[in-house]
Amino acid sequence: MNKLLVIAAAVSVLGTTPLVGQASPEDDLKAFQGYFLKRFPNVPLDEYANGVYALDAASREQWEAIEEFPPYEIAIEEGEELFNTPFKNGKTYASCFRNGGIGVKGDYPYYDIDKGRVETLESAINECRTKNGEKPLKYKKGKIASISAYMAYTTRGQKIDIKIPFDQRARDAYEHGKHFFYARRGQLNMACAHCHVDHAGKRIRADILSPALGHPSHFPVYRSKWGGMGTLHRRFGGCNKQVRARPFKAQSPQYRDMEYFLTYMSNGIPWNGPGARK
């Protein structure tokens, strides 16, 4: 069992109550990134924005060919149109975000101290809608994925820089997300970390398992398997199903907190969404 799973095991036993000697988020970040950089010494940190294509040359060649005519371009165009289409009250999404919503994906996820929960880009998009008298969108795909794709596109190249505020509730949300990532579940009794930490870069049937480092950087994604766009929480749900566990709802506290943990673990990697994956 590697050092990261030892930390996770302690979390699962002891919960999220602050303890003397418990690893800090900064310690976790150093260990998490250090593990991958040591395991794949020829892969620079920035390359983890490209997921499995940072690890396998043959897969990367196929992906680069796809990127010449990226299948997510239509989603970006649709997202831009939706973003700029006025609500019934005359306002647009730009009224809800810093800098008019341009280049702000890097603000998410964050812990909202007033609300007492993690806020994601998709939850902020729907909050913007409801504040302006519109019905919320479904969280996994469709219009919300297109809007998120456009907002991600305007943020490309910025470095991920998630903060954990000095607030115990924020630390608890982070620890909850970490625990969820390392906890076993489903009939296969597997954790996210089994595939995306322990066996990253190895084959499972015809596919190569992607590294967890950098996972959130390229979402939302166009997946060939889906034949369309999907949000990060759609992918979380699919992974849970693959280990024969009942998935949580998109934007559940479990998925929000895990997004918070994983994005923090990817600090220093450039945002490069939307992406294209198998």
pLDDT tens digit string along 40-85?
999 999 999 999 999 999 999 999 999 999 999 999 999 999 999 9
Asked whether the domain spanning 73-153 has the same topology as the one spanning 3-70+160-277, the reply is yes
Q: Which of 6-20, 119-133, 156-170, 248-262 has the lowest mean pLDDT?
A: 6-20
Q: What is the pLDDT of residue 33?
A: 98
3-state secondary structure the chain: CCHHHHHHHHHHHHCCCCCCCCCCHHHHHHHHHHHHHHHCCCCCHHHHHHHHHHCCHHHHHHHHHHHCCCCCHHHHHHHHHHHHCCCCCCCCHHHHCHHHHCCCHHHCCEEECCCCEEECHHHHHHHHHHHCCCCCCCCCCCHHHHHHHHHHHCCCCCECCCCCCCCHHHHHHHHHHHHHHHCCECCCCECHHHHHHHCCCCEECCEECCCCCCHHHHCCEEECCCCEEECHHHHHHHHHHHCCCCCCCCCCHHHHHHHHHHHHHCCCCECCCCEEEC
CATH homologous superfamily, domain 73-153:
Cytochrome c-like domain (1.10.760.10)
Q: Confirm whether 239 is a catalytic residue.
A: yes
pLDDT tens digit string along 111-134?
999 999 999 999 999 999 999 999
pLDDT band at 20 (very low <50, low <70, confident <90, very high): very low
pTM for the whole thing? 0.91
**Annotated catalytic residue: which of 96, 192, 195, 239?**
239
Domain ranges of the chain: 3-70+160-277, 73-153
CATH number for the domain formed by residue range(s) 3-70+160-277? 1.10.760.10
